[in-house]
Amino acid sequence: MGKHDTIILSNNDRSLVYRWLASFFTSEVKIETLESYSSPEGRALLDVFSLAPALAPFTGELTKLTELPRESYQAKVLDLATAYSRLFLGVGGQHSAPPYESAFYNEKGTLFQKPTADMNKILQDLGISIENSLKEPADHLGVQLNVLAEYIDREALAEANGNHETAYTLHQSQIWFLSNHLLNWVPSFCESCKRFDKSGFYKELADGLNTWLAMDSAHLNEAEATT
C-alpha cells in the first residue's frame, strides 16, 4: 500500500480531512490562517494532506499563499474575503455558489427546504448541534462535512471498543450520507465554484472536495463489497 492509499483508507485521516475542508467553507481565510500554515506544524499538516492526490492541488495553492511575504498577507486575505463573499454569501448574485443542499434541491433554489429538515433530524439523532458561531441552516456544506466526520469518528471508536456491529452500521451510514446528502448536490455546487471563482483559490478547493468525495465514496463501497 502506498502513501496515497494510506490517507484515503485511514479513518483518522479521513475525519481530519473532512473537518479541514469544512473549515474553508464555514469561514473566510484570515491572516492567522496563513500564519498557522506557515509554521512548521502547519506545513507538516499540509504535507500530509498533499499525499492524497485529490487534495494535492489545493494544498499546493495554500502553500503558495503561506510563502508570500508577510506584508502581502493582508492584501491577499482581503482578496479571498471578496471571493468568499461573492461565492458563498450571495454577494455575487447569480454568479454565486450557495453552500446549501436546499439551493440545489430543485430549480427554485430557495433555502430551508426538505434537506434542512432532514439535516436537523440527523443532528438530533446524533445528539450534536451547530456551533453558535456558525449561524447557518443545518444543510450548510460545512455542517454536512462535519457530520460525515462524526460518523467516521464514531466508527473508529466502535471498532476500537470491539463493537463491530455498531461500526458496521456507522460505515453504512457514511455510504448513505455521502449518497443522499453530499454527492447528490456537491458536484453541481463545485461546478458553480469553478465557474464563478475569480481568485483561483476556491476553484482548487472545489476541485479537491469533488474529487475527494468521489474517491472516498468508491473506497467505502469497495470496503463494503469485501466484507
The pLDDT tens digits for 96-132 are: 999 999 999 988 888 999 999 999 999 999 999 887 6
Q: How many domains does the chain have?
A: 1
pLDDT category at 220 given cuts 50, 70, 90 is very high
What's the first-to-final CA gap in the chain, in angstroms? 19
Percent of the chain with pLDDT over 70: 94
Is there a contact between 55 and 208 (Cβ–Cβ < 8 Å)? yes
Q: What is the CATH number of the domain that holds 183?
A: 1.10.3480.10
Is there a contact between 52 and 59 (Cβ–Cβ < 8 Å)? no
User: What is the average pLDDT value for the chain, to the nearest integer?
Assistant: 91
- CA-atom Rg of the chain in angstroms: 18
What pLDDT does 132 receive?
64
Sign of the dihedral defined by the CA atoms of residues 59, 67, 34, 31, in that order: negative
- 154-180: pLDDT as tens digits: 999 999 999 999 999 999 999 999 999
- The closest alpha carbon to 190, from 157, 171, 214, 169, belongs to 214
**b or e along 66-83 (b: 16 or more beta carbons within 10 Å of the residue's beta carbon)?**
beeeeeebeebbeebeeb
What pLDDT does 133 receive?
64
Q: CA-to-CA distance for 103 and 105, rounded, in angstroms?
A: 6
- Please state the rounded mean pLDDT for residues 18-45: 95
Give the domain extent around 210: 3-225
Q: Higher model confidence: residue 133 or residue 46?
A: 46
Q: CA-to-CA distance for 214 and 221, rounded, in angstroms?
A: 11
- The closest alpha carbon to 115, from 96, 134, 143, 90, belongs to 143
What pLDDT does 7 receive?
42
3-class DSSP state for residue 100?
strand
